[in-house]
């Protein structure tokens, strides 16, 4: 096992997980502490590129080409004065302040890089979450998931293959039954994007499966879709999805999944040529095995400073952490696993860790809920905005879509700055005139 050392004379900050929050934190700390040579900043991730997770449903439907929007960690590290180390964290030694990284193997199983240990003075864990199939029989074998770019690409490839098969058979009455388990934001947005994909695929000549013969069923165990959002938003989205022809089943828990169907606990059978799991989350399993406090879904329990409860030198944030805050009115709130929460925590830690490196105490995190926005592909967008000026205001249509898009642009601005983000926006506008509306391969 090799030992990877940073500059021993500098405070070593190691960030494990290059999702939206982790990459933003590495970039912010690199621009400040790294650039001024006040600390060594290292980002560790199992992947070599970053893609913004809230857009994965667009990749799955083909509305977005992930290869055009992914970001290379090595390049981002070079531009922003931090180090990038490819690897998957497997273990932690709190006494020696080291983490263990698994070997890196090629596609044929040959070891390219041996296992390594990496030393830290401050460790930040931000490895995100994965879908939670709740040990549903048949889910791992018969469902597609939407946790990363590779899985999103697999959904898209499977969708295209269904169309190619139907086109080759010459049967222009073919049906495609798609079942989406989970009607949170991901499931709802995916349903709308897949409906749009059906229209676009027919437009480009793959018309053996007509849009009316693409049957999309959205299944939710709660009494309403978007259970975490206000009722008026859920109701509005429900109506709009039904107008698009999406079948919605609420208060239905899936009990088993087969290759061509699924069964609910009420014994309802739903035909499914393509089953996609979008319900629930859990943190990676290895977190629950670390010598740190974790909950039943493997999230690391942290204090208001985002420090883990058992080690002041280890922080965790984003979907992989469980942070409960006490409000001024005495009530408690558990921070929801949302992109805006991870963004706020990354911003707080960028300031807080500067204090820690300087020998001061970390800052406490306060969460501000700015509302939620749901995109229904090109058809509409719905959400609520919350703030001192707007109060709690519901928005729909073009205005909601504008705010929805701005969330991604804010993420890009943190990573690239205003000028480069403006250039990326211009590139996106120009590219729409030179490529199809849908990825067709």
User: Residue 93: pLDDT band by 50, 70, 90 thresholds?
Assistant: very high
Is the confidence at residue 110, as pLDDT, over 70?
yes
* pLDDT score at 100: 97
Lowest mean pLDDT among 132-136, 193-197, 235-239, 337-341: 337-341
Same domain, 249 and 144: yes
Angle value at C-alpha 372, between 188 and 283, nearest 5 degrees:
70
Q: Of 248, 280, 312, which residue is a domain's last?
A: 280
CA dist 76 to 69, 128, 149, 399, Å? Answer: 13, 20, 19, 32
Read off the pLDDT of each residue in 149-178 and give the average, rounded to a whole number.
Answer: 93
Same domain, 155 and 85: no
Q: What percent of the chain has pLDDT over 70?
A: 97
Same domain, 177 and 220: yes
The model's pLDDT over 358-390, given as tens digits with 9 standing for 90+, comes to 999 999 999 998 888 899 998 888 988 775 444
User: Residue 143: pLDDT band by 50, 70, 90 thresholds?
Assistant: very high
* pLDDT score at 387: 58
Same domain, 167 and 270: yes
Same domain, 201 and 109: no
User: Residue 86: pLDDT band by 50, 70, 90 thresholds?
Assistant: very high
Is the confidence at residue 329, as pLDDT, over 50?
yes
DSSP string covering 379-390, please?
TEEEEEEEETTT
Is the confidence at residue 5, as pLDDT, over 70?
no
Q: What percent of the chain has pLDDT over 90?
A: 79
Same domain, 346 and 399: no
Q: In what order do the strands lie in the sheet with 261-264?
A: 254-257, 261-264, 269-271
- CA–CA gap between residue 415 and residue 410 (Å, rounded): 9
Say how far residue 222 (Cα) sits from the centre of its chain: 22
Q: Of 260, 280, 300, which residue is a domain's last?
A: 280
User: Residue 7: pLDDT band by 50, 70, 90 thresholds?
Assistant: low
Read off the pLDDT of each residue in 114-135 and give the average, rounded to a whole number.
Answer: 96
* pLDDT score at 253: 96
Q: Does 108 fall in a domain? A: yes
Q: Does 365 fall in a domain? A: no
Same domain, 147 and 276: yes
Same domain, 234 and 143: yes
Most confident of 55-69, 127-141, 165-179, 404-418: 127-141
- CA–CA gap between residue 16 and residue 32 (Å, rounded): 19
Q: How many domains does the chain have?
A: 3
Strand, coil or helix: 188: helix
Q: Does 119 fall in a domain? A: yes
Which residue reads 């070079």 in tokens?
78
Alpha-carbon dihedral angle through residues 185, 17, 145, 396, given to the nearest 10 degrees: 20
Q: Does 100 fall in a domain? A: yes
* pLDDT score at 334: 94
Q: Does 208 fall in a domain? A: yes
Task: Decide the pairing of beta strands 49-50 and 71-72.
Answer: antiparallel
Same domain, 83 and 161: no
* pLDDT score at 389: 44
Q: Does 167 fall in a domain? A: yes
Select from 88, 134, 137 the least CA-distant residue to 113. 88
Read off the pLDDT of each residue in 228-237 and give the average, rounded to a whole number.
Answer: 92
Same domain, 187 and 269: yes
Q: Does 362 fall in a domain? A: no
Domain that holds residue 264: 135-280
Read off the pLDDT of each residue in 88-109 and give the average, rounded to a whole number.
Answer: 95
Q: Of 327, 357, 387, which residue is a domain's last?
A: 357
Those residues with Cβ within 8 angstroms of residue 185's Cβ, 6 or more apart along the chain or in another chain: 226, 372, 374
Read off the pLDDT of each residue in 387-410 and give the average, rounded to a whole number.
Answer: 77
Q: Please answer whether residues 377 and 349 qualify as being in contact, where contact means their C-beta atoms are separated by less than 8 angstroms.
A: no
* pLDDT score at 321: 98
Say how far residue 295 (Cα) sits from the centre of its chain: 20
Is the confidence at residue 234, as pLDDT, over 90?
yes
Q: Give the CATH number for residue 77.
A: 3.50.50.60
Average of per-residue pLDDT values in the chain: 93
Quote the DSSP letter at residue 363: P
Same domain, 274 and 159: yes
Which residue reads 């014994």 in tokens?
267
User: Residue 127: pLDDT band by 50, 70, 90 thresholds?
Assistant: very high
Q: What pTM does this model have? A: 0.93
Those residues with Cβ within 8 angstroms of residue 417's Cβ, 6 or more apart along the chain or in another chain: none
Read off the pLDDT of each residue in 241-264 and give the average, rounded to a whole number.
Answer: 97
Q: At what angle do helices 397-416 and 339-357 cross, to 10 degrees?
A: 30
Same domain, 155 and 72: no
* pLDDT score at 388: 44
Read off the pLDDT of each residue in 227-233 and give the average, rounded to a whole number.
Answer: 91
* pLDDT score at 390: 47
Q: Does 436 fall in a domain? A: no
Q: Kindly report the length of the chain.
A: 441
């Amino acid at each position: 096992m090799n030992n990877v050392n940073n500059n021993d004379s500098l405070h070593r900050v190691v960030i494990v997980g290059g999702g939206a929050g982790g990459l933003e934190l590495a970039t912010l700390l690199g621009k400040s502490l790294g650039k001024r040579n006040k600390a060594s900043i290292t980002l560790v991730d199992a992947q070599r590129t970053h893609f913004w997770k809230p857009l994965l449903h667009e990749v799955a439907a083909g509305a977005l080409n992930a290869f055009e929007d992914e970001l290379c960690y090595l390049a981002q590290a070079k531009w922003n004065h931090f180090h990038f180390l490819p690897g998957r964290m497997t273990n932690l030694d709190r006494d020696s302040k080291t983490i263990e990284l698994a070997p890196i193997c090629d596609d044929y199983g040959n070891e390219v890089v041996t296992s390594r240990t990496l030393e830290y003075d401050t460790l930040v864990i931000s490895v995100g979450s994965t879908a939670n199939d709740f040990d549903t029989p048949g889910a791992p074998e018969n469902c597609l998931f939407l946790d990363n770019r590779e899985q999103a690409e697999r959904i898209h490839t499977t969708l295209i293959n269904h169309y190619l098969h139907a086109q080759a058979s010459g049967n222009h009455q073919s049906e495609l039954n798609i079942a989406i388990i989970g009607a949170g934001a991901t499931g709802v947005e995916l349903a709308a994007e897949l409906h749009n994909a059906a229209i676009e695929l027919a437009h480009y000549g793959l018309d053996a499966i007509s849009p009316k013969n693409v049957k999309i069923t959205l299944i939710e165990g709660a009494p309403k879709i978007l259970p975490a959002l206000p009722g008026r938003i859920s109701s509005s989205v429900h109506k709009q999805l039904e107008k698009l022809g999406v079948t919605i089943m609420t208060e239905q828990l899936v009990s088993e999944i087969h290759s061509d169907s699924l069964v609910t606990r009420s014994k309802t059978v739903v035909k499914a040529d393509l089953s996609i799991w979008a319900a629930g989350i859990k943190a990676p399993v290895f977190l629950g095995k670390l010598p740190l406090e974790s909950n039943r879904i493997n999230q690391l329990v942290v204090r208001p400073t985002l420090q883990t409860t058992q080690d002041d030198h280890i922080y965790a944030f984003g979907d992989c952490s469980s942070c409960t805050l006490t409000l001024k009115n005495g009530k408690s709130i558990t921070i929801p696993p949302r992109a805006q929460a991870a963004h706020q925590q990354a911003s707080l830690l960028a300031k807080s860790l500067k204090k820690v490196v300087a020998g001061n105490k970390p800052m406490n995190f306060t969460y501000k809920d700015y509302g939620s926005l749901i995109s229904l592909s090109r058809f509409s967008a719905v959400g609520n905005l919350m703030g001192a000026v707007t109060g709690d205001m519901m928005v729909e249509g073009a205005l909601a879509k504008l705010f929805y898009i701005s969330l991604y642009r804010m993420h890009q601005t943190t990573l690239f700055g205003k000028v480069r983000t403006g250039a990326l926006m211009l590139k996106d506008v120009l590219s729409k005139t030179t490529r199809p509306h849908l990825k067709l391969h």
